[in-house]
Amino acid sequence: MKNTFDVSAVQADFPIFKRQIRGNNRLIYLDSGATSQKPLQVLDAEREFYTQHNAAAHRGAHQLAEEATELFEGARNKVAAFIGAKSDEVVFTKSATESINLVAYSFGNAVIGSPFHIKPGDRIVVSEMEHHANLIPWQELAKRTGAQLVWLSVTSEGRLDLSNIDEVINEKTKVVALTHQSNVLGTINPINEIAVRVKEVGAFFVLDACQSVPHFAIDVKQLKVDFVAFSGHKMLGPTGVGVLWGRQELLDEMPPFLTGGSMIETVTMESATYLPAPKRFEAGVPNMAQAVGLGAAVDYLSKIGMEQIHQHEMDLTQQAISGLTSIKGLQIVGPNNLEMRGGVISFTIDGVHPHDLGQALDQYGIAVRTGHHCAWPLTKKFKVVATTRASLYLYNSSADISELVSGVQRARDYFLER
Ligand SMILES: Cc1ncc(COP(=O)(O)O)c(C=O)c1O
């Protein structure tokens, strides 16, 4: 069934689409995997917070502090409802990167005897398709604790190789940290299938949902993982706000990551006790305006409907894959069918450097990303120097994809057939 949602009505909510790029080209923004554009509704919510309600949430006895607290906690409720969570399970951080570091540092701070304690010989499992944000914190935790970092590999089609899952995720495994959807390949991983093995060995499962939560409906009650990390700025929200969802019973027991004001229960000169989650992990005056903006983003996405958004993106992905693969010498890096994949399409063209291609597309107003996309080991695995990546979102139209395909064709011909 073809999707019916009105892309031009969506685009009208985003002031940036009125801009002209490199002369008088309209903006064709295909870099939402890096960061999304923001609708007026989000910008207005942030502005209204500052112009009408600005005060430090959870502090102060005055009316503005009360309003700021209500708005901040209201944003938490919205985000929680969006992912099927309880509000106290939603921790606001500054980004997905910080959310993942929070878990890694908290585990690293756990003392012997704690269920979170990681010791020499324990295993931390990642995969070859991780963004650096879900790789480096685990490398560092392994270094600090003496644990061993091991990984699931990626097949030539760009899927996780699960043929040796029982060897990689073994009884020594303490943490498994995987991406839900690859930011390079577009692959969506079979999380609940992997979770069976993770639970069998009693490990904690951390999910990097940066590229999934913005694009399709997620219900943490259905996902058999323990932690989910994502960023506000990739889902129409402001920069400076991320989310860590964790199971309540885990969050309440985990050692804090950042310490300071607002996260304490009692304090003496020598020591302190800490509040339960989420406050335990939100030291200092929080990112209130950003959280409120994220709440507005969640309202915006929910009003359109995640099913609709997902269907629209899949229609565009289909169009992009069939258009791009008709170009001579072009290879998709990642699955070239729609099965378990999202709207992130990376590719190479024989004889054309991705950076040259990206620059040529920019001349036509088409914004794509080129490089290793913060997943350097994956780029090396595919034996390419870099790829060109088009990443889609709800505001992209079929016309955008046609322009991408003809832009890539034009650029290829310019470089190879002059
Ligand atoms: C899969 C994935 N994980 C983590 C991140 C890190 O997100 P942030 O930079 O917002 O912390 C990104 C950002 O590109 C990503 O795509």
Pocket test for ligand 1, best of 374, 376, 387, 393 (most atoms within 8 A of CB): 374
Indicate whether this model's pTM tops 0.85. yes
Closest CA to 327 of 241, 384, 404, 273: 404
Q: Is 76 in the pocket of ligand 1 (CB under 6 A)?
A: no
CB 397 within 8 A of CB 7: yes
**Alpha-carbon separation of residue 9 from 6, 13, 17, 153 (angstroms):** 5, 7, 12, 42
Ligand 1 atom nearest to 34, measured from its CA: 14
Using CA atoms, how far apart are residues 148 and 361, in angstroms rounded to an integer? 43
- HEC-encoded secondary structure of 341-396: ECCEEEEEECCECHHHHHHHHHHCCEECEEECCCCHHHHHHCCCCCEEEEECCCCC
**For ligand 1, atom 4, which residue shows the shortest CA distance?**
133
Residue owning the nearest CA to atom 7 of ligand 1: 96
H/E segment holding residue 402: helix 398-416
The yes-or-no answer on residue 374 being catalytic is yes
133 lines ligand 1 (CB under 6 A): yes
Question: Is ligand 1 within 6 A of the CB of residue 211?
Answer: yes
Contact assessment for residue 100 and residue 206, using Cβ atoms and an 8 Å cutoff = yes
Separation of first and last alpha carbons in the chain: 43
Q: Find the catalytic residue in 165, 316, 366, 374.
A: 374
- Rounded distance, CA 116 to CA 95, Å? 23
Note down pLDDT in tens along the chain; length 418 residues. Answer: 455 689 999 999 999 999 999 999 999 999 999 999 999 999 999 999 999 999 999 988 999 999 999 999 999 999 999 999 999 999 999 999 999 999 999 999 999 999 999 999 999 999 999 999 999 999 999 999 999 999 999 999 999 999 999 999 999 999 999 999 999 999 999 999 999 999 999 999 999 999 999 999 999 999 999 999 999 999 999 999 999 999 999 999 999 999 999 999 999 999 999 999 999 999 999 999 999 999 999 999 999 999 999 999 999 999 999 999 999 999 999 999 999 999 999 999 999 999 999 999 999 999 999 998 999 999 999 989 899 999 999 999 999 999 999 999 999 999 998 7
For residue 296, which of 78, 132, 148, 110 has the smallest C-alpha distance?
A: 78
The amino acid at residue 153 is S
